[in-house]
Amino acid sequence: MDVQWNHNHHIVVAVSTGIDSMVLLHQLLTSYRNTYHTLTCLHVNHGVREASHEEASFLKAFCEKHHVPLYTHQLDLNDVVEQGNSIQHIAREARYAWFDDMMRDLNADFLLTAHHEDDQIETIFYRLMTGRSTRSSLGIKQLIPKHGYHISRPLLHMRKDALKRYQARYKVPFYEDASNASNQYVRNDIRNRILPEIESNPMLSPSHLLKLHDFHEHQRAIIHQEARRFIDESVTFKAQDIEMPRQAFSDLDSYIKMHILDTLLHDLETGLSFSEKAYHEWFHQLETSVSQIRLHTTDEWIIQISYDKFVITTTFSNEDDVLIVKHHGEYDFGGYRIMFDQNMPDAMFPFTIRTRRTGDKVQIHDGKHKKVTRLMIDYKIPTHLRASMPIVSDHKHQIVLVGNLYLHKDLRNLLDIRKLGAEK
């Protein structure tokens, strides 16, 4: 087991009652019991199999016996099943949404899942064979930073056979999900039929996919580095536009160009996603002699070629929502009251109160910066509230306050904000 936490941490284990998660839980209760401060279990009852409730009762009794707090959650997937849709993706999204809420409620440090090396090989094979290999990671990440905690996969370098041997040696109780034997799901077919067939050939080994994964991650890191360098050096962020030089962008490798666009569209919270085919059509237009052309248009966004520029434009503007503050006092803006203390030095004025703009960043620590859009995402601010949240910048145009999410450390006793109606 790869231990990524320490004896001061509160760790939470996602337990399905299958052999993998029960072995992980057993190890944490025995050999690794001194590696953490607090242990909690989470269990999701999908409610689509008759055994689901029996499994939940079994885990409750197991946790009570070992004095481990257990929290369970019931999913309602009946509509999905009735419509004949696959529940795997929907169930996963619902599980992790609940896990995220629970990690915050518990103020826990690490969420542990029991993914192992066979899961990793299966995932790599699945993503390769379904065309998901160029714009995302091939495999499962062992450690994922989240806002306030980490997701850890401590068994990711252990083979399934090792877990089975451990279970047999220590007689770890578990439940076998009967649906895992059904090859109607693609992942099950890969696990039960395709990979074993490859393994049966002495000249072939699915484990070589792990080497491909490592190489792929190295190449992705290089692409990310090159894309980030281009964004930092060549992309211009304006109030409503993002511009980049057409020729310089066109000269880049296509994978770097796709990564740049994916990054910008994500950071701008456009909600837009494009296929590689669409991207390549755009890249072709960039290389032609066309002077101006709109590549994509929605009610809120325009992506276009404009002479020597490649431009992403927002069609809505908050330019009128600006308040210039020249003196200390209290100012109401966007449903908030912003208070400039009387001890604020006159030399620090004027301040500007406004709403979010493309490219806004705040300084967090050690000179590092974070995008305001990412700050709002981390705090789970609903999309419809982000556009009206007040942002305060100083006379040097440095952002010093973002709603009640961020306040520059030098102004903690001089600037304050409250939601109107919350003063009582």
Name residues whose C-beta falls within 8 Å of residue 248's C-beta, 6 or more positions apart in sequence.
Answer: 230, 234
Q: Return the ∠ at Cα 178 (arms to 190 and 124), rounded to 5°.
A: 20
User: Which among 114, 200, 196 has a CA at the least distance from the CA of 157?
Assistant: 114
CA–CA separation, 254 vs 258, rounded Å?
6
Higher per-residue pLDDT: 315 or 229? 229
User: Which among 143, 145, 144 has a CA at the least distance from the CA of 154?
Assistant: 143
pLDDT tens sequence across 292-315: 899 998 878 899 999 999 999 877
Starting from the edge strand earliest in sequence, which strands make up the sheet with 292-297, in order? Answer: 236-237, 241-245, 309-314, 301-306, 292-297
pLDDT band at 417 (very low <50, low <70, confident <90, very high): very high
> Which amino acid type is present at position 337?
R
User: Which among 374, 412, 406 has a CA at the least distance from the CA of 391?
Assistant: 406
The mean-pLDDT minimum among 73-77, 227-231, 327-331 falls in 73-77
> Which amino acid type is present at position 375?
L
Q: Return the ∠ at Cα 130 (arms to 125 and 134), rounded to 5°.
A: 85
Higher per-residue pLDDT: 80 or 209? 209
> Omega before 350 cis (within 30°)?
yes
pLDDT tens sequence across 260-271: 999 998 887 788
Q: 230 pLDDT exceeds 90?
A: yes
pLDDT tens sequence across 102-113: 999 999 999 999
Enclosing H/E stretch for 82: helix 78-82
Q: Could you give all domains of the chain from N- to C-terminal order, each with its CATH number?
A: 10-201 (3.40.50.620), 235-314 (3.30.465), 322-419 (no CATH)
CA distance between the termini of the chain: 51
* pLDDT given for residue 424 in this prediction: 43
- Which pTM value belongs to this model? 0.70
pLDDT tens sequence across 239-256: 667 899 999 999 999 999
Give percent of the chain with pLDDT exceeding 70.
Answer: 93
* pLDDT given for residue 362 in this prediction: 92
Q: What mean pLDDT do residues 364-390 have?
A: 82
Q: 205 pLDDT exceeds 60?
A: yes
Q: 318 pLDDT exceeds 70?
A: no
Q: 90 pLDDT exceeds 90?
A: no
Q: Are 2 and 154 in contact (CB under 8 A)?
A: yes
Q: Mean pLDDT, the chain, as a whole number? A: 89
Residue 61 to residues 31, 54, 208, Cα–Cα distance (Å): 21, 11, 41
